[in-house]
Amino acid sequence: MTGPVIAALWSHWRRNPLQLFTLLAGLALATALWSGVQAINAEARASYDAAAATLGEGRYGQLIARDGGVIAQDSYVALRRAGWLVSPVVEGRLQGVRLVGIDPLTAPGGIGPVTLGEGADIGAFLAGRGQVFAHPDAVAALADLDADVIVAPDAAPGTAVTDIGVAQRLLGREGQVSRLIVAPVQPLVQRPLAEVAPELDLRPARGGSDIGRLTDSFHLNLTAFGLLSFAVGIFIVHGAIGLAFEQRRPVVRTLRALGVPLGRLVWLMAAELMGLALVAGLAGVALGYVVAAALLPDVAATLRGLYGADVAGALTLRPVWLVSGIAIALGGTALAAGGALWRMTRMPLLASASPRAMSMAAGRGARLQAVGALGLLALAGALALWGSGLVAGFGLLAALLMGAALALPLVLDRVMALGQGRARGVVAGWFWADTRQQLPGLSLALAALLLAMAANVGVATMVSSFRLTFVGFLDRVLTSELYVYTADADQAALLEEWVTPRVDDVLPLYSVARGIAGLPSELYSARDAATYRENWRFLAAVPQVWDVLAAGEGVLVNEQLARRAGLALGDTVAVAADRALPVAGIYGDYGNPIGQAIVTEPLFRALYPDIAATRFGLRIAPEEVAGVRDALRDDFGLPAANIVDQAAIKAFSLSVFERTFKVTTALNVLTLAVAGFAMLMSLLTLATMRLPQLAPVWALGLTRRALGRYELLRAVLLAVLTAALALPLGLALAWVLLAVVNVAAFGWRLPMFFFPADYARLGLFALLAAGLAALWPALRLARTPPAVLLKVFSNER
């Protein structure tokens, strides 16, 4: 019995290839968007992990030369003899590849591209020509190297690792070391660093991966976007499966009437869908791979520019996201088909198979849907008011989006009912009533459009707000035209004396790392200068905040410190062992992972007399910047690397944002295109069921061309109404991302800006998508031969 039933079920797809394509394409697109974003995230994270494993960056304390230069190998030897467990590292660029030389015998465990105990020949690594372990993307560049190059996929991108002796020889740095890695456990007795190697500074280990923390914000946004895309996809799949079941309802009834048991039918249909989901999932993962591969160079450039994190520019096929992509496709299908199959098991054998069945069933479910929508929106409200933490933030996002999607058909139904009630003329009345009847069949595609547009509005608002805020923030913190760094206090004193007559103002930057309010923080100084008074903007501040600060009667704290320590204006914080000050102002400090506080310069110098300023901001007339920079380099002798041009930093930051925009814009367009596709497929599928409804209207005197026009108008009208609802939803989404998720994840809240022109453009784009989606079905309807329309009547009984 199973064979003929499978043949009968499959014959439906064979005779309705468009519907099969809808189902497969919807599922494949949903999987592609999800797995594409996940692939980018997975690739970036793997790169950070490789970087951390290869270089030990952030995990261990480091000794670096105070002047930023190289360390003499003698200093390393002296430190080892003095009881310091340190390991030397030499770094340099060789044919564009970052070459890192380590000493495998003294390096802490876990550093290096390979574990030397696992098959690597330590003798070959240390002796002879030496072995160079290189990331696959770096192997080609090292082809002519005087050493054995070994491919090491786990190495950081663009990096090669070798023994320190080999690296020194290849880089021409014999007797030199770039930095020293400090082992986490040191002997109890060792001579102080200042005594053994006074020219070195100890940079303590940082908790967690610094790169990882900085890039988490970007990835969180990408993940949120991936989830939204998947939600859009699930709506498409749900719609496609729902319509497929609706169309097959009479066949199911017939099969049961002819003696096929319900249980077997349900299992066969479930197996059939899972088979289709597997095919679509594989196609989706492949498509996601293409999307990720296309976007990854931009993502890699963005991450490298923003945070200095090296991400491979080429994509590796990782089993984790391949499996997760397939699992998402199967899970999504199970989720979408579960309800339809359940309803099928409850459907009486003699249930009506009329085309109205779906809308009647929708009518019955409307009350339940309204309760669900209200419940979810109430939950979102409660989470916004009382929730805290990242989980609550994402819960709020999910409740808000699902609640809105559930509410959409009900809101549209009310609008249609209103239109029907106010319609003048019989055709207008029919138009509103007919549109209302189409809502159940289109509601899932419209919900997908709603989510896609809301995601576009929300993410665009978030990214643009982030950009505006960050640019404003850069303008504030980079007010000086030039920033200079000196090697030590003596050079700083000379520089201040030399540069003062040549510039408008010199702003020394003193800083000390210390715990503030129990949190790791940095205390900075600020000179009482017009530069700060004119440019700084506060999130909250007491009146005349700069006067309070200049009088040494207050302290400024960054937003992260204020939020994490629960500080408000007027609360007292200790800025030194015997000095506490009230908080006079709270400022935004985006991208900084730790707390920061600022006191006036005289007070800082009084509290920390041993700290010398080695960094300076220089205020110069714009036309004199180049001259001063050249003089600093040529006349004063400051290395070019120690002079930073503010305009160059800003231009660089903006170029990084432009690349970020390219990624988010591409994802936005893709999501909207997927939603447009959902509209097209729903309209095409419905079109085949529409003939019995439209044929009588045609017979009563409306032309086929007019019917086609009404179909087009209907799609555009529904898109306009959906867009009108998507705008507030998208703004709410942006608010959640900026004010809830961001705060929970990173400790700072971004102000929200509005971009009406962008929203208008998006609205037009959505209308265009809906119009294009409706065009084909409308044209098909307008060109339907009268014989086909007449057949509707000839088959009637």
Partner 1 sequence: MLTVAALTKTYPGPDGPVHVLRGVSLRLAAGETLALTGESGSGKSTLLHLIGGLDAPDGGTITLDGAPVTGLDDRGRAALRRGKVGVVFQQFNLIPSLSVAANIAFQARIAGRHDAVWAQALADRLGLAAHLAKYPEQLSGGQQQRVAIARTLAARPRLVLADEPTGNLDEATADGVLDLMLGLIAETGAGLLLVTHSERLAARMGRRLHLRAGLLA
Tabulate helix, strand, coil % of the chain (nearest 5). 65, 15, 25
Nearer to partner 1, 474 or 792 (CB): 792
Strand 540-541 and strand 131-134: pairing? unpaired
Nearer to partner 1, 8 or 612 (CB): 8
For 670: left if phi > 0, alpha if psi spans -120 to 50, otherwise beta; the answer is alpha
**To the nearest whole angstrom, how small is the minimum distance from the Cβ of residue 792 to partner 1?**
11
**To the nearest whole angstrom, how small is the minimum distance from the Cβ of residue 11 to partner 1?**
4
Give the C-alpha distances (Å, rounded to integers) separating 97 from 101, 107, 119, 145, 795.
13, 22, 25, 12, 75
Positive or negative, the CA dihedral 219, 223, 226, 232 is negative
Supply 762's token pair.
């998006």
What's the start-to-end Cα distance of the chain, in Å? 32
**To the nearest whole angstrom, how small is the minimum distance from the Cβ of residue 268 to partner 1?**
12
Nearer to partner 1, 351 or 539 (CB): 351
Nearer to partner 1, 252 or 686 (CB): 252
The label of the residue with tokens 């090669």 reads 160
**Helices of type H across 637-736:** 646-699, 704-735
**To the nearest whole angstrom, how small is the minimum distance from the Cβ of residue 364 to partner 1?**
15
Supply 488's token pair.
């030590």
**To the nearest whole angstrom, how small is the minimum distance from the Cβ of residue 271 to partner 1?**
17
**To the nearest whole angstrom, how small is the minimum distance from the Cβ of residue 358 to partner 1?**
18
Nearer to partner 1, 8 or 279 (CB): 8
How far is Cα 41 from Cα 320, in angstroms, rounded to an integer? 12
Nearer to partner 1, 352 or 531 (CB): 352
Nearer to partner 1, 348 or 701 (CB): 348
Do 280 and 13 form a contact (C-beta atoms < 8 A)? no
Nearer to partner 1, 304 or 780 (CB): 780
The label of the residue with tokens 């594409």 reads 36
**To the nearest whole angstrom, how small is the minimum distance from the Cβ of residue 23 to partner 1?**
15
**To the nearest whole angstrom, how small is the minimum distance from the Cβ of residue 254 to partner 1?**
4
Nearer to partner 1, 1 or 185 (CB): 1
Look up residue 636 and give its DSSP letter: I
**To the nearest whole angstrom, how small is the minimum distance from the Cβ of residue 686 to partner 1?**
17
276: CB partners within 8 A, 6+ apart: 20, 23, 24, 27, 333
Task: List, in sequence order, every residue forming a beta bridge with 643; answer none if it has no partner.
Answer: 484
Nearer to partner 1, 172 or 348 (CB): 348
DSSP annotation string for 719-731: HHHHHHHHHHHHH
**To the nearest whole angstrom, how small is the minimum distance from the Cβ of residue 669 to partner 1?**
37
**To the nearest whole angstrom, how small is the minimum distance from the Cβ of residue 47 to partner 1?**
50
Question: Which residues of this protein are in contact with partner 1, per CB under 8 A?
Answer: 1, 3-5, 7-8, 11-12, 14-16, 250-251, 253-263, 348-350, 794-795, 797
**To the nearest whole angstrom, how small is the minimum distance from the Cβ of residue 399 to partner 1?**
37
Task: Give, for 176, the enclosing helix (H) or strand (E).
Answer: strand 176-177
Positive or negative, the CA dihedral 323, 326, 328, 330 is negative
Nearer to partner 1, 426 or 794 (CB): 794
How far is Cα 26 from Cα 235, in angstroms, rounded to an integer? 9
Give the C-alpha distances (Å, rounded to integers) separating 52 from 45, 110, 667.
10, 9, 29
How far is Cα 725 from Cα 708, in angstroms, rounded to an integer? 26
Supply 608's token pair.
């920390």
Nearer to partner 1, 261 or 338 (CB): 261
Nearer to partner 1, 256 or 476 (CB): 256
Task: Give, for 600, the enclosing helix (H) or strand (E).
Answer: strand 595-600
**To the nearest whole angstrom, how small is the minimum distance from the Cβ of residue 406 to partner 1?**
29
Nearer to partner 1, 259 or 609 (CB): 259
Do 617 and 499 form a contact (C-beta atoms < 8 A)? no
How far is Cα 544 from Cα 552, in angstroms, rounded to an integer? 13
**To the nearest whole angstrom, how small is the minimum distance from the Cβ of residue 791 to partner 1?**
8
**To the nearest whole angstrom, how small is the minimum distance from the Cβ of residue 10 to partner 1?**
9
Nearer to partner 1, 13 or 133 (CB): 13
Number of Cβ within 10 Å of residue 80's Cβ equals 16
3-state secondary structure of 392: helix
Nearer to partner 1, 324 or 685 (CB): 685
The label of the residue with tokens 């017009």 reads 530
**To the nearest whole angstrom, how small is the minimum distance from the Cβ of residue 708 to partner 1?**
23
Backbone dihedral angles phi then psi of residue 132, each to the nearest 5 degrees: -115, 120
Look up residue 575 and give its DSSP letter: E
How far is Cα 445 from Cα 424, in angstroms, rounded to an integer? 29
**To the nearest whole angstrom, how small is the minimum distance from the Cβ of residue 278 to partner 1?**
22
702: CB partners within 8 A, 6+ apart: 427
Nearer to partner 1, 188 or 350 (CB): 350
DSSP annotation string for 463-532: HHHHHHHHHHHHHHHT-SSEEEE-SSHHHHHHHHHHHGGGSSEEEEE-EEEEEETTEEEEEEEE---HHH
Angle subtended at Cα 730 by Cα 729 and Cα 732, rounded to the nearest 5 degrees:
65
Nearer to partner 1, 16 or 531 (CB): 16
Task: List, in sequence order, every residue forming a beta bridge with 617; answer none if it has no partner.
Answer: 483, 507
When computed from its CA atoms, the radius of gyration of the chain, rounded to whole angstroms, is 33
**To the nearest whole angstrom, how small is the minimum distance from the Cβ of residue 363 to partner 1?**
16
